[in-house]
Structure 1
Amino acid sequence: MTTGKFNDMSAMEALRRAQAISVGPFVFQAVAAMEDLGLLGILGDLGPGESITREEMARRSGVSLYGVSVLLDLAVTADIVIENPENGGLSLSKLGIYLTSDPMTRVNLAFTRHVCYQGLEKLTDSLKTGRPEGLRVFTADHDTIYPFLKDLPEKAREAWFGFDHFYSDRLFPKALPELFRRFHPRLIYDVGGNTGKFALAATDYDPEVKVTVIDLPEQCEKARENFQKAGREERARVFPADILKEEPALPGEADIWWLSQFLDCFSAGDISGIISRIYRAARPDAVLAVNEILGDRQKNEVASLVVDATSLYFTALANGRSRFYHARELISLIEGAGFKLCDEIDHLGMGHTVMFFRKNPEAEYEEGRRGAGHEG
């Protein structure tokens, strides 16, 4: 609910929701246990109209009848499982079907469970210190999660990249036609390009475009490996740099500076510094294209809830200072560094907004200078 009045919700509904929050961790961990023990899989394999008893589930799964019963009692009460009162037959509800088979729900569930759940216990400490205190669940040797991504435990690493790629993979097919239709770029800088997913997608989309990933050395190393595996070294390169530092000097020949799900990794102060650095390096006619998931630009309340909830990952685990921003704040930060918003597209992919900025809105895009160089 983005806006509302005190009496929009009845007292009983408010109490019901309050209790759902109070016992929410129990429900979450029960779902996790049912997944690990194979109970959700057994229910998910049932055909239309089929059901199964607790005794049969215990036999098939190898879990004690006690274990099956305590989990299924809660699953029924939480509307995840439906129980036939006449014969005790159990089957998945609509909610249970989403939990077991909806790709977005599965990705979000894994990210919450394997990356965030334990670290979120340190949310209060993170808000007090401005540091990702929950990251200590995984390591005490890093101030942010990003240099440590490749060293996360296997399930956490798979969940982190699965979450990141699920959303970006659904954005790129929508965003690339817009970028090329509007600007026909021949050289793109992908700032914070991570493992090179966008660079590979862009060079697949256009046979002439070149992309340089600008990111931390650790990420550039992985991106370079992926470019070599794809046989794309001639058009997909890397430029190792810490964007928060002034050295080395950034290259400046790109037609488009592409920042995708990148600024949410930084505090407001850091964003001002990053965009100012890009502004100084960029050509006068260059385009700054910023893709973000914005909490106030979602299609419905459920999407807004997921975005604003997941935003706390940045507080507790990523760096202690950043978030999924709302549009007004992010645009103000970028324009404060000198760029001017020229256009924006909402609801691309899975709730993304792509915003286009220019140094000088009056200047025309100089197609003749496209791809003047390619660093890396």
Structure 2
Amino acid sequence: MHNFFKDNDTKTALEAQYEAQKIAFAPIIFQVAKSMRDLGILETLYDNDKLGLTLNEIAKNTNISTYGVKTLLETSLSADIVKVKNKRYHITKTGYFLLKDKMTRINMDYNHDVNYQGLYYLEDAIKNEKPSGLKVFGNWETIYPALSSLPEKAQNSWFSFDHYYSDTAFEEAIQILLKNEPEKILDIGGNTGKFSIKLAQADPNTHITILDLPEQIALAQENISHAQLDDQVDFIGLNILDHTKEIPSGYDIIWMSQFLDCFKEEDIVALLKRVKASMDKDAYVYIMEPLWDKQRFETSAYCIINTSPYFTAMANGYSKMFNSVDMIDYINKAGLHVIEEIDNIGICQSILICK
């Protein structure tokens, strides 16, 4: 387990007070940074970085009032998004990443479009173990059946976030899955079918079954049909949290990608016990999760850890992102054991292969 965040509480009192103020004003900084990006101010600074731009030049280039530009620039100056020399503004390295870094853009859109309003109710969610913030989108028990009904921007940002952190691992994960030439794979929590499509295209001899909520199955069926893979992929619509339902048997591999982080501990253990009961002696379980203590960089660990409040306030009220110690503990409690761990797949994923 990596010792991330080991330098906590090493600041002077004055430095710590400043950090506390950054947290206190964080929502304002966030909105200013997003406005700087979306109103084109960061782009025009980037395009003119050699000489920089004056306040009036920025206002003219972006067609925004000098008042508006100055308000955004001064907050951005305090947040190290811009710097000023001889009354001419330049973009900083932080500003560059806000503008050009794909991960930063996806994270910002996700937090703005999906989480921002709902996180106002985080305290209620913590107390009640219910996604109290989800009410900003409608009356659902969890976000998962609501995904196909979310406003377009929220839906696009949710799927962009979800796919970004998993898709970069797909090619390598598929090679790992196909190493032992499985004939039948059960994709539990197959979501839109994106992974199953790539898996089916990689090996036409592998048959895949996607098991998910009926609402998600409808999306997956549409995508599978569009990819002309109906003969290679089939579907089971099932509420996986109904622990009275058996997991179908007869599969060489049971695959779960960024799926178990959707549930609380007791449901994870109960689900894995049902998976175990469906397995014959030659079957394997492959679990892919972004385990925060297995990251190469502290930045990745930071992003993963800070996804957990989304689960609390918006998704279901009770799940979170894992470290490897907790995940392996759940696996062992279900009567399974990890025979191989493969880390650093894609941006942030680990695969635990279990028997």
What is the one-letter code of the residue matched to 2:58?
M
Shift of the 47–133 alpha-carbon distance from structure 1 to 2, 3 Å rule, reads same
TM-score w.r.t. length of structure 1:
0.90
Aligned 8 A contact 1:241 1:247 in 2: no
Match 2:234 to one of 232, 237, 240: 237
Instruction: Specify the alignment match of 1:26 in structure 2.
Output: 28
**Cα separation, 1, equivalents of 2:77 and 2:195:** 43
Deviations 1:329-368 (A, max 9, x none): 111112211111101011111111100000xxxxxxxxxx
Q: Could you say what the CA RMSD is over the residues aligned between the two structures, in angstroms?
A: 1.6
TM-fit CA distance, 1:5: 6.9
* Residues 204 and 232 in structure 2, CA contact (< 8 A), matched pair in contact too: no
CA displacement at 1:162 relative to structure 2: 0.2
CA distance change for structure 1 residues 199 and 7 in 2, over 3 Å: closer, same or farther? closer
1:213 — aligned with what? 210
How many residues end up aligned between the 2 structures? 353
Aligned partner of 2:77 in structure 1 is 76
- Is 1:180–2:182 an aligned residue pair? no
Alignment pair present for 1:203 and 2:200: yes
Cα deviation code 1:146-200 (max 9, x no counterpart): 000011111111100000111111011121112222x221211110000001101
Counterparts in 2 of 1:4 and 1:48: CA distance versus 1, 3 Å: closer
Shift of residue 298, structure 1, vs aligned partner:
1.6
SS at match of 1:143: coil
User: What amino acid maps onto 2:122 in structure 1?
Assistant: L
1:91 aligns with: 90
- Superposed, 1:301-312 pairs within 5 Å as 301-312=298-309
**TM-score, with length taken from structure 2:** 0.95
Deviation (angstroms), 1:42: 2.4
1:345 lines up with 2:342 in the alignment: yes
| Structure 1 residue runs without a partner (length 5+) | 359-376
Among candidates 276, 296, 299, match of residue 299 of structure 1: 296
2:152 counterpart residue number:
154
CA distance in 1, matches of 2:4, 2:11: 14
Structure 1 position 246, deviation (Å) = 4.4
Q: Give the match for residue 110 of structure 2.
A: 111
Distance in structure 2 (CA, Å) of the matches to 1:261 and 1:7: 32
Say if 2:338 and 2:352, in contact at 8 Å, map to a contact too. yes
Asked whether the 8 Å contact 1:82–1:91 carries over to 2, the reply is yes
- How far apart in 1 are the matches of 2:160 and 2:8? 39
Q: Which residue of 2 aligns with 1:124?
A: 123
Structure 1 residue 192 and structure 2 residue 192: aligned?
Answer: no
Q: CA separation in 1, counterparts of 2:137 and 2:259? A: 22
Q: 3-state SS of the aligned residue for 2:306?
A: helix
- Confirm or deny that 1:316 pairs with 2:313: yes
Gaps of 5+ in 2: none
Whether contact under 8 Å (1:265, 1:323) holds in the other structure is yes
1:196 & 1:5 partners in 2: Cα distance? Answer: 41
Deviation larger for 215-224 or 291-300: 291-300
Q: Which residue of 2 aligns with 1:170?
A: 168
Alpha-carbon distance, 1:3 to partner: 5.5
Q: Distance in 1 between matches of 2:131 and 2:238?
A: 23
Q: 1:58 to 1:242 in 2, by over 3 A?
A: same
Deviation of the 1:74 alpha carbon = 0.9
Assess, with a 3 A threshold, how the Cα gap between structure 1 residues 7 and 278 changes in structure 2: closer, same or farther: closer
Q: Secondary structure at the match of 2:352?
A: strand
